[in-house]
Amino acid sequence: MIRTLLAFDYGQKRIGVATGQALIGSTQSLDTVNVKHNKPDWDHISRLIQEWQPELVLVGLPLNMDGTQHDMSRAARRFANQLNGRYQLPVELVDERLSSVEAENIISASRRDGRMKKGQSKRAVDQVAAEVILRTWFAGQDTRPGIS
């Protein structure tokens, strides 16, 4: 059974990262990886892979609302293929339509109740979007023990 996952919300400037535990369905915003000249900071990603030892990696697949792909969809697929090639880990793409909108709503609520300061914005949105990708994946899985 898969236990530890890492999820990536791929972007042209930043990649949000979150971790999850499949056994209990928990998620946690983790980090933000910089992207420069269309190249992710692979050293940073390698450190995260080494530290968390995921058994599965998720990459958000941005799609148009009608389900069609666009330039960022192709970039996310390319990133997923690179992750698989570099680390020899299984990688799944997860439909991330509206994940950034949901992440912004979560952050707005966190600011209102004092759990997050206003200055924590774009990097936090990227991380929370990765967390939303994990939750989306969990929602499509039966991760509860003993349930058929």
What is residue 30's DSSP assignment? E
pLDDT surpassing 60 at residue 146: no
- Structure confidence by residue, pLDDT tens digits, 78-107: 999 999 999 999 999 999 876 666 666 666
pLDDT of residue 19: 98
CB 61 within 8 A of CB 95: yes
Domain carrying residue 58: 4-139
What is residue 147's DSSP assignment? -
Q: Does residue 40 form part of some domain? A: yes
Q: Does residue 146 form part of some domain? A: no
- State the average pLDDT over residues 113-134: 74
Q: Please state the pTM of the whole predicted model.
A: 0.83
Per-residue pLDDT band at 23 (split at 50, 70, 90): confident
Interstrand relation of 26-36 and 14-21 (parallel, antiparallel or unpaired):
antiparallel
CATH number at residue 31: 3.30.420.140
Q: Does residue 144 form part of some domain? A: no
pLDDT surpassing 60 at residue 40: yes
Q: Total structural domains in the chain?
A: 1
What's the rounded Cα separation, in Å, for the pair 103 and 141?
Answer: 21
Q: Does residue 147 form part of some domain? A: no
pLDDT surpassing 50 at residue 148: no
pLDDT of residue 25: 87
Q: Does residue 148 form part of some domain? A: no
53 CB-near residues (< 8 Å, 6+ apart): 4
pLDDT of residue 68: 86
Q: Does residue 145 form part of some domain? A: no
Q: Does residue 38 form part of some domain? A: yes
pLDDT of residue 31: 95
Percentage above 70 pLDDT, the chain: 78
Q: Which of 95, 81, 89, 108 is nearest to 135 (CA)?
A: 95
CB 23 within 8 A of CB 44: no
- State the average pLDDT over residues 55-66: 92
Q: Does residue 86 form part of some domain? A: yes
